[in-house]
Chains A and B, each alone.
Chain A
Amino acid sequence: MKKLLILSGKGGTGKTTTAAAFAAFSGARALADCDVDAPNLHLVLGRAETPVVSEFLGGDKAHIDADLCDRCGLCKDHCRFHAIEETNGGYAVNEFACEGCGVCAWVCPKMAVNLSTDVAGEKQLYRGDGVFSTARLKMGRGNSGKLVAEVKRDLYRNAGDADLAILDGSPGIGCPVIASVSGVDLILIVAEPSRSGLSDLMRLMKTARGLHVGLCVAVNKWDVSPDTTRAIEDLCRAEDVPFVGRVPYDGELAKAARGEGSMESLDSPGKQALYAVYENTMKLL
């Protein structure tokens, strides 16, 4: 199975729209949404069947037993994450700051601190007509990289003999992005022709190069700034990264990709351009 990951660096450039359109073009039977703290692909796919839902266990969280605590404060002194707070004479763990490292439990002379597993989100696996793996991080929890790894694992385990997997990634260059990159065959970066988009693209390219995965770049809404689009093409040439096409702003295409119209029957300049991007990407894959 070939695995294609769609990233963008900057948010809002059209990752999910592109992923949904590619899914429609290819009839791919394995899809995943790795943007676990702002997932949207499920809104587009509109899958009717009920998903298999499972808990995502993040890190542990500490709890202080007030009856055993003798208020020595060693836990608070040693916590590097400022997660121990004083409460009228005692101490309590701020669950949003606790990283579950266990330092507080180790330093406590009264054994008053326990660590327990924390449910940090929910995974959904759709297994009707093709597999779609997605998840949602619980608000106030970290561990997004670990959740991304589990979303991918659930996809691969259930993908059967699918020959193509399309993964919708998250913006940025940090933990969820790095977790989404591991093991994929190719990354398509959907870039936006703006000063911000160019800066974000350069940082993402540098990050991806460090992870040794093949890259290609497309520009979405290129007509917003033809000059910046050319600058992006020049950058790709200089960096020896394949440039797979430019797509004009096209409201109808965006609507069709969001599921508000039919992708098959659409015949617009945007769709033709995006289809060319799809074909060029598949050749590289």
Chain B
Amino acid sequence: MKTAVLSGKGGAGKTMAAVNLAASLGCAVYVDCDVEEPNGHIFLKPEGEQQETVCVKVPTFDSDRCVGCRKCVDHCRFHALVFIKGKPMFFPEVCHGCGLCSLVCREGAVQEAERPIGVLKTGRSGNLTVVTGVLNEGEVSGVPLIEAALRSAKGEDVIIDGPPGSACNVMECVKGADVCLIVAEPTAFGLHNFLMVAELCRVLHKPHAVLLNKVTEPYEPMEEALRTLNIPVLGRLPYDATWARSLSDGQLLAAEDETVRALFRSIYDRLKEVAG
């Protein structure tokens, strides 16, 4: 089963839940798909990491063959090409790598090359396989890296640590999962962002459940939303200053504490029921 751990709001406890869930299962695959800010490795400390570069396709232009017909420029829907001094000028930051420019060129002047956007690291942490996508700073889209990370993660139990928000990078994680665990803070901010991710799961027809985190006092609007939407609550973790300090130091809670492992195993058992 592939589980995507999401939150909407940043800092709700996605990585905490994902690494401890993976560590509590014993033998599992943990995939860090928060490729802009990957942090799972800080807690899991993978060893013997193998690194692989992930590339996207970008066009290259042969100015000797180019006759300046500007077909490529006119067909590009992402404004990645501009016609200057009778030739196309290329802006790689906005290129989606769709390949249309090379298809429309009748002169064979547009070829394709590989451009690196980040790396995929694969290592071991005890019985866990740890896959980490790291996007190069300055790159706009981590989606191709997330796709590569999800492709390489093979195993019985795969835990996907997703990015915050609810945009295309999050959507990629939801699409690649069988079930989603949404970690939510019971606050006004937490509720608002939780509702957006829950809607994303619904739109993509993915079963989902919630884990409430940093609970200090009951927050009725959250409870009401969960009742109305009929989303199962798999746990309520209280705010714990000791946990906060341990997490700040990059400690894996499940490593030391059997009660934590039992807690996350029971959450995983309920997730299997939610997945159906």
Contact = CB atoms under 8 A, between A and B. Distances in A.
B165 A170 contact: yes
Interface string B96-107: 111110011000
A228 interface: yes
Contacts of B20: none
B10 A171 contact: yes
B98 to A, nearest CB: 3
Contacts of B192: 38-40, 43
A174 B204 contact: no
B111 to A, nearest CB: 16
A196 interface: yes
A174 B142 contact: yes
A11 B39 CA distance: 12
Contacts of A194: 247-250
B97 A80 contact: yes
B9 interface: yes
B107 to A, nearest CB: 17
Interface in A101-158: 101-103, 106-107, 136-137, 139-145
Contact of B36 (A40, A106, A143, A174): A174
A43 B97 CA distance: 38
Judged by DSSP, the binding face of B is loop
Nearest to B251: A195
A8 B164 CA distance: 12
Could you say which interface size class chain B belongs to? 35 or more
B237 interface: no
Interface string B192-204: 1100100110011
B9 A196 contact: no
B125 interface: no
A171 B193 CA distance: 13
B98 A174 contact: no
A283 to B, nearest CB: 28
A176 B137 contact: no
Contacts of A102: 75, 77, 98, 100
A10 interface: yes
B38 to A, nearest CB: 8
Could you say which interface size class chain A belongs to? 35 or more
Interface string B158-182: 0000011111111100010000000
A54 interface: no
Nearest to A205: B137
Interface in B185-219: 187-189, 192-193, 196, 199-200, 203-204
Contacts of A99: 96, 98
A48 B250 CA distance: 43
A38 B193 contact: yes
Contacts of B37: 9-10, 171-173, 196, 199-200, 203
A139 B6 CA distance: 14
A65 interface: no
Interface string A53-74: 0000001100000000000000
Contacts of B22: none
Contacts of A107: 103
Given A16-B189, A103-B100, A11 B9 contact: yes
A108 B9 CA distance: 42
A106 B204 CA distance: 28
Interface string A25-54: 000000000011111100100000000000
Contacts of B166: 37-38, 137, 139
Contacts of B97: 80
| Interface pairs A-B: 3 shortest CB-CB | A11-B10, A12-B11, A101-B98
